[in-house]
Amino acid sequence: MTHLTSPDRRSSHHAPTGWLDPRGRRLSAIVFVLNRLSGLFIILYLYLHLVVLSLLAGGAASWDGFVAFARSPIVLALDVVLIAGLLLHGLNGIRVALVGVGLVERERALFVALLVVGAVLLAIATIRVFGA
Amino acid sequence: MTELADATTLPVRVLRVRRTPRSGGGGRWSTFDVPAPSPRTTILDALTWARRHLDPTLDVRHSCFHASCGTCAMRVNGREVLACVTPLEGLPDRPVVVEPLRGLDIVSDLVVDLEAVYDALDAVSPPLQRADETASAALCADGEPTRFEDCLECGACVSACPIAAYDAAYAGPPALAAAWRVAQAPRGADVDAALDVADGDQGAWRCHLAFECTAACPVDARPAQAIMRLRGALLRRHIEDRLRRRAGAAHVAEVSP
């Protein structure tokens, strides 16, 4: 098939970061972007978690030092960010699974319902993290 | 380039238009002051006025002027619209940013190459064949058939799709929605071939449910909803194939000596 455009111009309109472009995007597309970013974030956290667990090999002193650090307000705030990422990724995964195979037609209603569920769970988690 | 509209007594709007030369190379912005004599003055009216009175090198594609042909799809203030039915009135009181569609190759200025859309549509849905107008009952089990016939093939949904924005190989919303239409009303088309394309590496499973295509569609053809139903049909086809193979294997085991 003959194309009107030259090969160099064709490729220039499909940058690998095109999905990140927020211009003109609506809420559900922004959720899609956040879903991808939170997925990457969760993978990074998994490796960080393994590194932290490796402190156990250094004995009780090294672990106790980490626990003291982990109870600082900044780290607790990061815990809340982590929980927000997990909730976003998990709940959006449920939405994608249900809507994505045609089981749920009312996509907007499910979106709003899961948004409310996520907000409630995040509020509970935040209280528990800072109240512990 | 800012040039004052000659009709000084008329309300004037400012258009910022993304330009890309036909010869390739970097893009630039042009600014046009255009008259908006009526509340019904559209983006396309303003662009054709600018082309006629200010810059004859401005490339704009249009045909019908009433949202039937889909050739004037472009982005206005970041959103996909048909320029011929989008009035200037109601847009925020600042320069109106006019850009070509995303995810498609630019021929020049506001004109994009829709060949990729047509190729993808051809892969799943050849030109109308009237040999068989009976809807496929098996695939329509979940409700009344909803045909994807309002589609203008304007490319607005491709421009809005975040997957098509970075991967030219993705079949894209119009072709996938057309595959669902073929599954519902084959009219002589090869349903299995269309579903095979939709089930392929660049097919329906690459959709990430941003629903931007449906939001951008100027005629409310709802391609995202069609893709979701298509995915349900593909999943059922996979399950049925697996059950059939399992039953076949059991039968072979029974009759084997």
The whole-number pLDDT of residue A127 equals: 95
**Among the ranges given (A39-48, B79-88, B185-194, B195-204), the one the predictor scored with the smallest mean pLDDT:** B185-194
Q: Which residue does chain A place closest to B21, by CA atoms?
A: A9
Assess whether pLDDT exceeds 90 at residue B55: yes
Q: Which residue does chain A place closest to B24, by CA atoms?
A: A9
> Order of strands across the sheet with B96-99?
B28-35, B12-19, B96-99, B73-76, B79-82
Put simply, whether A37 touches B (Cβ < 8 Å) is: no
* Per-residue pLDDT band at B101 (split at 50, 70, 90): very high
Instruction: Give A17's contacts in chain B (Cβ within 8 Å).
Output: 166
Instruction: Give B207's contacts in chain A (Cβ within 8 Å).
Output: 100
* Candidates B104, B119, B232; nearest CB to A13: B104
Q: Are B159 and A21 in contact (CB under 8 A)?
A: no
Put simply, the answer to whether A29 touches B165 (Cβ < 8 Å) is no
The whole-number pLDDT of residue A11 equals: 41
Specify the 3-state DSSP secondary structure of B240: helix
CA A47 to chain centre: 15
Instruction: Determine the Cα angle at A110 with ends A108 and A111, to 5°.
Output: 60
Q: Are B61 and B72 in contact (CB under 8 A)?
A: yes
Put simply, whether B165 touches A (Cβ < 8 Å) is: yes
* Per-residue pLDDT band at B254 (split at 50, 70, 90): confident
Cα distance between the two ends of chain B:
86
The whole-number pLDDT of residue A86 equals: 96
Structure tokens at B234: 């593909």
Q: Which residue does chain B place closest to A103, by CA atoms?
A: B232
Nearest-neighbour CA in chain A from B50: distance (Å): 25
Instruction: Give B113's contacts in chain A (Cβ within 8 Å).
Output: 3-5, 10
* Candidates B104, B210, B231; nearest CB to A101: B231
The stretch B90-97 carries a mean pLDDT of: 95
ipTM of the complex: 0.74
Instruction: Give A11's contacts in chain B (Cβ within 8 Å).
Output: 168
**Among the ranges given (A125-129, B128-132, B211-215, B248-252), the one the predictor scored with the smallest mean pLDDT:** B128-132
The whole-number pLDDT of residue A24 equals: 81
Amino acid identity, residue B155?
G
Specify the 3-state DSSP secondary structure of A32: helix
Assess whether pLDDT exceeds 80 at residue B47: yes
pTM above 0.90, yes or no: no
Q: Are B177 and B228 in contact (CB under 8 A)?
A: no
Q: What does the pLDDT look like over B105-123, one tens digit per residue? A: 999 999 999 999 988 888 8
Q: Are B86 and B47 in contact (CB under 8 A)?
A: no
Structure tokens at A13: 């309109």
Q: What is the DSSP letter of A75?
A: H
Torsion of CA B210, B211, B215, B216, to 10 degrees: 70
Put simply, the answer to whether B162 touches A101 (Cβ < 8 Å) is no
* Per-residue pLDDT band at A132 (split at 50, 70, 90): low
Put simply, the answer to whether A102 touches B232 (Cβ < 8 Å) is yes
Q: Which residue does chain B place closest to A7, by CA atoms?
A: B105
Nearest-neighbour CA in chain B from A26: distance (Å): 7
Nearest-neighbour CA in chain A from B252: distance (Å): 33
**Among the ranges given (A63-77, B6-20, B132-146), the one the predictor scored with the smallest mean pLDDT:** B132-146
> Can you give B151-197 as a three-state secondary structure string?
CCCCCHHHHHCCCCCCCCCCCCHHHHHHHHHHHHCCCCCCHHHHHHH
Assess whether pLDDT exceeds 80 at residue B253: no
* Per-residue pLDDT band at B127 (split at 50, 70, 90): low
Q: What does the pLDDT look like over A84-116, one tens digit per residue? A: 999 999 999 999 999 998 889 888 899 999 999
Put simply, whether B91 touches A (Cβ < 8 Å) is: no
Put simply, whether A6 touches B (Cβ < 8 Å) is: yes
Assess whether pLDDT exceeds 90 at residue B149: no
Q: Are A122 and A87 in contact (CB under 8 A)?
A: yes
Nearest-neighbour CA in chain A from B249: distance (Å): 28
* Per-residue pLDDT band at B73 (split at 50, 70, 90): very high
Residues A79, A82: Cα–Cα separation, whole Å: 5
CA A110 to chain centre: 19
The stretch B57-84 carries a mean pLDDT of: 94
Structure tokens at B126: 């050849």
